[in-house]
Amino acid sequence: KAVLPVVVATWRFHNATKAAWEVLKNGGTAIDAIEQGCRVEEADVNNTTVGNGGTPDRDGHVTLDACIMNKEGNYGAVVCMENIAHPISVARKVMEDTPHVLLAGKGAEEFAVSKGFVRENLLTASRKKAWEKWKEKSEYKPIINIENHDTIGMLAIDKNGDISGGCTTSGLAYKMAGRVGDSAVIGSGLFIDNAIGGATATGMGEEVLKTVGSFLIVELMRQGRTPQEACEEGVKRIVSSNLNYKNFQVGYVALNKKGEFGSYCIHPGFGVSKYQEDKQTYIASGSYIQ
Ligand code: SD4
Ligand 1 atom nearest the C-alpha of 205 is: 10
For residue 1, the CA-to-ligand 1 centroid distance in Å is 34
For residue 249, the CA-to-ligand 1 centroid distance in Å is 10
For residue 160, the CA-to-ligand 1 centroid distance in Å is 31
Residue 106 is classified by DSSP as H
In the sheet with 6-10, reading across from the earlier edge strand, the strands are 102-104, 75-81, 64-69, 163-169, 152-157, 6-10, 271-276, 279-284
Q: Is residue 98 flagged as an active site residue? A: no
Residue 244 is classified by DSSP as G
How many CB atoms are closer than 10 A to CB 276? 19
| Whether this model's pTM surpasses 0.95 | yes
Q: What is the CA radius of gyration of the chain?
A: 17
Find out whether 120 and 83 touch, Cβ atoms under 8 Å.
Answer: yes
Whether ipTM exceeds 0.90: yes
Q: What CA–CA distance (Å, rounded) separates 189 from 87? A: 15
Find out whether 34 and 167 touch, Cβ atoms under 8 Å.
Answer: no
Ligand 1 atom nearest the C-alpha of 206 is: 10
CB neighbours of 178 closer than 8 A, spacing ≥ 6? 80
Ligand 1 pocket, mutate which of 80, 81, 182 (most atoms under 8 A from CB): 182
The reply to whether ligand 1 has any atom less than 6 angstroms from the CB of 44 is no
Pick from 201, 179, 213, 2: nearest CA to 104: 179
Q: Whose CA is nearest to atom 3 of ligand 1?
A: 171
Q: What CA–CA distance (Å, rounded) separates 113 from 106? A: 11
Pick from 107, 118, 146: nearest CA to 52: 118
The helix (H) or strand (E) run that includes residue 198 is strand 197-203
For residue 74, the CA-to-ligand 1 centroid distance in Å is 22
Instruction: Choose, from 151, 169, 200, 202, the residue flagged as catalytic.
Output: 151
Q: Whose CA is nearest to atom 10 of ligand 1?
A: 205
Find out whether 205 and 182 touch, Cβ atoms under 8 Å.
Answer: yes
- 71-120 per-position pLDDT tens digit: 999 999 999 999 999 999 999 999 999 999 999 999 999 999 999 999 99
- 133-144 per-position pLDDT tens digit: 999 998 887 666
Mean pLDDT of the 35-39 span:
98
